[in-house]
Amino acid sequence: MKEKILTLPTPFGDNLEIYKNTWGKSGEPLSIVSGLQGDHLNGLFLNSHLTQFLDSIVQGSDPQYTLTGQIQTFPIVNVNAFQSGTRLWPLDGMDMDLAFPGNREGETAEAIASAILQHTKDSFWGIILTSAPPHYEDAPHIQTYKPYNREKKMCRDLKIETVRRQKYSPTQKLNLFYHWQEQEISSVMVSAGSPRTINLQQCQILFQGILNFMEAEGILKDHRNKKPENKIKTRIYYPNEEVLVRTSAPGIFLKEVKVGTCLKKGQKIGEVRDIYSGKILEELTASEDGLLITLRQYPIVYEKEPIAIILSGKDGWQKIGRTFQSIVKR
């Protein structure tokens, strides 16, 4: 059911409205939020796909599943940024994920943040759908600050191989995720893709992950006689296991690998060419074996600019392509 949770006036006559979708009335609630940044389209598409899927179950047109729990989704939080095709709030450059806990009587972004927090405060679980920073692409993975206890179980239930423990940041106290943690809501962030793009294959991985989680926690019941799946080992990577690859020359970066590739030490990632002469200025290679979790997409680079993040843990890093093969299609 679509429900309006906030209405705010605008200078142009039309109201700004924030909505959520809800299904089920019993059980411990799961909240799924996307659209904190206006250019994170994978999360928006995934939430719309999830809405279609859950509607079909509730309406009885998909008898393979039964909804046994309670779910609410918030497809678009930063409405104005989506409308203008920008990452940040267009009027003042506000990042909506730096507006929490918000203020019901405050400015527009603060009022929206307050409404989101108010409507998710009773959740037992929370999932935030996100993407890589501007100019980069992420392979599908989970992010968390506390990969312990219930959060660790969430990661396992999602059956997404790669988990990154996030570094502490002074600004994290302004994030929705931080306030969920403070309210003891078991929560993770799930990232995939690039800003301003929709990658259907990556969205399918995250969609299947959410279905895996809902089935594991008894929110959703699957009546199909499925074949036993290969057990997926979830690997948690800590900040000291991340290797940052930087340029040493400015120019045009031409990548030669795809994000999610398992790299061998010395394997070529790409090269930097001079903008005017076309001469190769630098070849960028992997300094260690590992999983290419983040890769630069925008080709113009400056000196010492990051172009890749490699997860280099010694204890069995795995090819994320295996996750693609494990997708169970409805």
CA distance 201 to 164: 21
Q: Is residue 221 domain-shared with residue 122, that is, in the same domain?
A: yes
In a domain, 125, yes or no: yes
Q: Is residue 158 domain-shared with residue 303, that is, in the same domain?
A: no
- Where is pLDDT greater, at 26 or 304? 304
Mean pLDDT along residues 223-237: 78
pLDDT at 324 over 70: no
Burial class from Cβ neighbours inside 10 Å (0-12, 13-18, 19+) for residue 296 reads buried
Q: Is residue 230 domain-shared with residue 252, that is, in the same domain?
A: no
Confidence at residue 124, expressed as pLDDT on a 0 to 100 scale? 96
Q: Is residue 276 domain-shared with residue 312, that is, in the same domain?
A: yes
Q: Could you give the dihedral angle defined by the CA atoms of residues 18, 21, 26 and 31, in that order, rounded to the nearest 10 degrees? A: -70
CB under 8 Å to 70, separation ≥6 — which residues?
22, 23, 24, 25, 26, 27, 28, 29, 30, 219
Domain that holds residue 265: 239-322
pTM value surpassing 0.85: yes
pLDDT at 314 over 60: no
Strands (E), 121-185: 125-130, 136-144, 162-165
Query: What is the per-residue pLDDT across 66-87, written as a single tens digit (0 to 9) for each?
Result: 999 999 999 999 988 888 888 8
Mean pLDDT along residues 278-303: 97
pLDDT at 99 over 80: yes
Among residues 274, 282, 319, 311, the alpha carbon closest in space to that of 295 is found at 311
In a domain, 328, yes or no: no
CB 157 within 8 A of CB 216: yes
In a domain, 329, yes or no: no
In a domain, 124, yes or no: yes
Q: Is residue 174 domain-shared with residue 126, that is, in the same domain?
A: yes
Confidence at residue 230, expressed as pLDDT on a 0 to 100 scale? 66
Domain count, the chain: 2
Residue 66: give its domain's CATH number.
Answer: 3.40.630.10
In a domain, 327, yes or no: no
* Percent of residues, the chain, with pLDDT higher than 70: 94
Backbone angles phi, psi at 177, to 5 degrees: -60, -40
Last residue of a domain, one of 235, 260, 290: 235
pLDDT at 319 over 60: no
Range of lowest pLDDT (41-50, 84-93, 148-157, 202-211): 84-93
Q: Is residue 255 domain-shared with residue 138, that is, in the same domain?
A: no
Q: State the DSSP code for 180.
A: H
Report CA torsion sign: 114, 121, 74, 232. positive
- Where is pLDDT greater, at 284 or 172? 284
pLDDT at 167 over 50: yes
- Where is pLDDT greater, at 315 or 150? 150
pLDDT at 327 over 90: no
Q: Is residue 74 domain-shared with residue 172, that is, in the same domain?
A: yes
> In a 3-state reduction of DSSP, which class is residue 168?
coil
Query: What is the per-residue pLDDT across 22-33, written as a single tens digit (0 to 9) for each?
Result: 999 888 999 999
Q: Output the average pLDDT for the chain.
A: 90
> In a 3-state reduction of DSSP, which class is residue 280?
strand
Mean pLDDT along residues 309-326: 56
Confidence at residue 153, expressed as pLDDT on a 0 to 100 scale? 92
Report CA torsion sign: 160, 306, 259, 134. positive
Last residue of a domain, one of 177, 212, 235: 235
